[in-house]
Amino acid sequence: MQRLKNKVALITGAARGIGQGIALCMAEEGADVVINDLPPDTPGVVDARSTAADIEALGRRALVVYGDVTDRQAVEQVFAAAIERFGRVDIVVANAAFSIREYVVDAQWEHVLRTIEVTQFGVFHTCQAAARHMVARGGPGKIIIIGSILSQIPLPTSAAYNMAKAAVNQFAPTLAAELAPYRINVNVINPGHIDTPGERKFATEEELQRVGTQIPWGRLGTPRDIGRAAVFLASDDADYITGSALFVDGGYRIGMRLPG
């Protein structure tokens, strides 16, 4: 449908998982994509250039800009590089996140701090930079924050992450109210259990599949499920939607799957 034709999208944490799914879906809909993630020499990090290659294979332009979203200067440099290459940014997806599963009584402070810095403050830095750019050019624009069902469902061993996701769910409508005069939409997508490399750090294949059978829709979500939702919110079809939270969770919040 090419709903994002001639648009430029900037996505943080886009080397793999949900961010990669969003990047590819937006490219399929006609967007050129700025891919942000950590440098490939960072332990455990996938090189974002593989996502760029997939986007270019779809006939769209891609730009990789490495940088840590906890570093305000780095975030500003990401936007500067995007604007230098493409002239503007129309869509920003604040997706980058971090989590280590620990009970509160055992939690190491450096893990808590890193989780909050990436998952909450990184969103703030990204959205502030996006807002400043979009306001300066008079709007319009689309800002999408990737939250989580854990903003409402308190998963044990995930206190810092739960806190951060709850915070960004409150931040989004606040920013939406401030940016509405400029016709800049701000919304949240709250994924449920999504089959990603990050999720596989905390669960075995058997555990993940068991969770999938308990979801009313009968399966785990995929990065493309979130990508398609992001495309909708970034498109003209969602122009009258702002300050909202969209749960993409296969019905997880409404209860366990019925037998039969």
At residue 48, φ and ψ (nearest 5 deg) are: -65, -15
Q: How far is CA 85 from CA 10, 62, 78, 80, 139, in A?
A: 12, 10, 11, 9, 19
How far CA 215 is from CA of 94, 169, 198, 230, in Å, comes to 26, 23, 19, 22
Task: Count the residues in the chain.
Answer: 260
Burial level of 247, CB count in 10 A (0-12/13-18/19+)?
Answer: buried
Q: H or E segment at 145?
A: strand 141-146
Tell me which residues are annotated as active site.
Answer: 148, 161, 165
Beta strands at 8-12 and 91-94: parallel, antiparallel or unpaired: parallel
